Each structure stands twice: as C-alpha cells, then as structure tokens.
Structure 1
Amino acid sequence: MQSNLVETLIGALVVVIAGVFLYYGYSTSGMRSTAGYHVTAAFDRVDGLANGSDVRLSGIKVGTVVEQRIDQQTYQAVVTLSLAQDVKIPDDSSAKITSEGLLGSNYISLAPGGSTDYLKDGGEIMFTQGSVDLMGLVGQALFSTGGAKGEGKSGTAAPASAPAPAHAP
C-alpha cells in the first residue's frame, strides 16, 4: 500500500511538470491568437523570416508575423503583421528585415515616421527593406576577383600617381 502511494505521487509530479513545460512552450511559441490590428508590408526578400517572428519597435516586441504570401502581380513577398492594439504606428513608417546577429533569427524592425496619421487595421507599410543575404556577401568578399595590392582589375599594375604639388610658403 505504501509503494502505491509513492508511485502515485511521483506520477502526479511528472504530469504536473509536463504540464508546466507544455504551457511554457505554448506561451513562447507565438501560436496563441494575438489581439491587435493587422497591417501588411511588401518586401523583395524575406529570407529567414517565419510566421511567429517578432516585430520590434526600438528593440521592443510590439507584434508578430502572422502570414506570408507572394503577390502574383509584383512577385514580392507580402507579410501580414499583427501589432499590439496599444501601439500606434505612423502611416509613413518603414519596416526592415534584420537579424539578431550572425547566427540569430530574423525579425522585422519598425522605424516610426513623422506623420500624425496612424496605420489602421488592414493598412500597409509602404517603405520596406528586405533581408540581406549574409552568406552571399561573405562569399563575395572571400572570392572577389580584385587583384593584389597595386593591381587593377585586369591584373596590370596601376599607374603611379603624380606627386602632390608643393605649396608655396
């Protein structure tokens, strides 16, 4: 009888701990519904951006990416953002996809404009900057074809520059 009680208590403890982990995972995953208003932004590239990615204003999370799709006319990536109801964004604000670091995930950074009119539910952020292909930039820097120092692109020596004129005292 004593061992059944101990096994029951241990089992209940395991179930409670599993419940805590599930609640934590659900609350940090961005899967819950977000109350707020939705705006869209069109980008040329959204590499590394996923549904559930942060939308930040001055480094503080103010929203979440809720949808991504391709515009069939312009072939741009249209991203739908859910912004907190209490955060008012001027309608001339800009959005930029940026990274948390070299290996960090991407998020959308908002830069507020100076307009007195604010974005409303269903509005669009007009000024955007897509993500930067970091691996492409690193590869370009490593494998660039610029010759050795003092050589032009054709591999010939660069012409010597004329000496600077002497200044009269």
Structure 2
Amino acid sequence: MKSFTERNPRIIGAILIAIILGFTTGALLLTSGVVKGEYTVRARFVDTAGLKGGDKVRVAGVSAGSVGSIRQAGGKVEVALKINKGIELSRDTKAQVIVETLLGSKYVRLVTGRDWTTMLHKGSVITDTSSPTEVLDLQNIGTPLLQKIDAKAFNDLLASLSSVTKDKRDEVVSIIGGLNKVTAQVNDRQDQTRGLIDAAKKLSGTLAGRDNELVGLVDNLNVVVRSLADQRVQLAA
C-alpha cells in the first residue's frame, strides 16, 4: 500500500489548495460579519474627533457592534457602523461620538428614538449626529477671543459682580434655582412652544397675504368716522 506522500502529487496539491481556500473564505466571512449576522449602517458626521476603525458601538450602554471604515463623503465624514445581529434601531436613531477615557479613546453611542414604523437596515444612513468638542478646538477658538478681551474691563466686571453678590449667597442660590426651574419647564414644554411659534408664523403669513384688504378696511373706517363727524357738526348747528 502506497504511503500518503507516494500518491499522485496533483491530488495532494488539489486537496491542499481546497483547504487553503476554505480557511481563507471562512476568515473573510468572519471579518465581513456574515457569519456573525452583522449588518452595516452608515453615520455622517461633521467631524469624527479622532474616531477610528475598531472602536466600540453601544446602545443604551451595551456593546452593539464596532466601527468599520471611515471615509470622506461630500464634505462630511461617513462612518460605517457594524451592528450585531438582534440589535434593532428606530428610523430616527441618533449617533454620537463619545469620549470614553481621559486618554482620548472614543466610542459611538446610538440613541434610538420613537419612530419604529420602519427600522434601520443594511445600507441605512444616520444623519442626526454629533461629535465632542476637543480641547484643541477650544484652544483654537478661545485664544483669539481671549486676546480681544479688555483685561481691565473684565476685572472691573468681576469686581462689580463680587460687590453685588457679597453676603447674598442665599439669594444667588435661589435665583440660580429659579433659572433651572424655568429652563426645565421650557424643555418640558418645547413641543407646545414650537407649536405656538408655528401658529404665530402662520398668522403673520395670513395677515401679510391680506395686507391690501386690511388697508381697505382701515380706509373705509376713516370714511365712516369722517361722515359721522360731519353729521355731528350739522346736527349741532
């Protein structure tokens, strides 16, 4: 009986090639997410703030995938997000780049909304995004502004504030607390406020569209008033 090495070398070569192709195909499937059941959505950021491939993606604090490719697209940065199988995202999901550690490592936080009529799927694009402000950005913006500030005037302002609030700590705390309550009320009723603003815009538009009619009514009213005044003079005579 022939040993394995004495058999037809073509058969042995074909077997080895098949094994290599099998391992290669498996590796590609694993990295592409097909085997793991991943699907890829894309998020468009103005600035990724140092986000890189392999960073985590989280939903409600739980790991939900990882960052894939990052590329420029139409003046923005398009980030591929590989989402784990079973993670459902609403159509109005928001994507935020979050600073995770003091060393600057980051992750993408996905915040689902209320629109579950359709869910995100492979190829969907998230446009509601935000990025953190970096210390370098603050430095670039803040330095020119600080250079333009009148130091003496700023010191005088601080001194005036100090004198006004001296021995009035409780009043200041009360004012700040009141402002916080007002802010909270505005936030809680932002839908109502937005509705009032929209209604005011519609009313303004309606009045503007009937400007000529209003002018005509005012002119007619003036004629009536003058007529009444003339009749009053005649009656008095």
Partner of 1:51: 53
**Aligned residue pairs: how many?**
126
1:95/1:129 contact within 8 Å kept: yes
- Partner of 2:153: helix, strand, or coil? coil
**Change in 2 beyond 3 A, CA 1:106/1:115:** same
1:97/1:106 contact within 8 Å kept: yes
Higher relative contact order, structure no. (Cα contacts within 8 Å, ≥ 6 residues apart): 1
Partner of 1:136: 137
Deviation at 1:103, TM superposition (A): 1.7
Which of 60, 64, 80 is equivalent to 1:62?
64
Partner of 2:79: 79
2:53/2:69 contact within 8 Å kept: yes
- Partner of 1:151: helix, strand, or coil? helix
Deviation at 1:135, TM superposition (A): 2.4
Matches for 1:23-62 after TM superposition, within 5 Å = 32-34=31-33, 35=36, 36-62=38-64
- Partner of 2:137: helix, strand, or coil? helix
Matched to 2:45, the amino acid is F
Over residues 58-101 of structure 1, what are the superposed CA-to-partner deviations in whole Å (9 max), with x where a residue is unaligned?
Answer: 22110111111111xx3100011110110000010100111113
Q: Unaligned stretches of 5+ in structure 2?
A: 1-29, 165-237
**Greater CA radius of gyration, 1 or 2?**
2
CA distance in 1, matches of 2:109, 2:135: 17
Partner of 1:26: none
Matched to 1:85, the amino acid is K
1:92/1:126 contact within 8 Å kept: no
Over residues 138-166 of structure 1, what are the superposed CA-to-partner deviations in whole Å (9 max), with x where a residue is unaligned?
Answer: 56567833444x715xx9x55x79x9xxx
Partner of 1:93: 93
CA distance in 1, matches of 2:50, 2:110: 17
Over residues 42-68 of structure 1, what are the superposed CA-to-partner deviations in whole Å (9 max), with x where a residue is unaligned?
Answer: 101112111111111122110111111
CA distance in 2, matches of 1:115, 1:37: 20
Partner of 1:27: none
Matched to 1:86, the amino acid is G
Partner of 1:127: 128
CA distance in 2, matches of 1:135, 1:44: 16
Matched to 2:124, the amino acid is G
Identical-pair percentage: 26
Matched to 1:53, the amino acid is D
- Partner of 1:103: helix, strand, or coil? coil
Matches for 1:107-118 after TM superposition, within 5 Å = 107-116=107-116, 117-118=118-119
Matched to 1:96, the amino acid is Q
Deviation at 1:32, TM superposition (A): 4.3
1:90/1:118 contact within 8 Å kept: yes
2:66/2:82 contact within 8 Å kept: yes
Q: How well do the aligned residues superpose, as a CA RMSD in angstroms?
A: 2.9
Matched to 1:92, the amino acid is D
Q: Unaligned stretches of 5+ in structure 1?
A: 1-30, 164-169
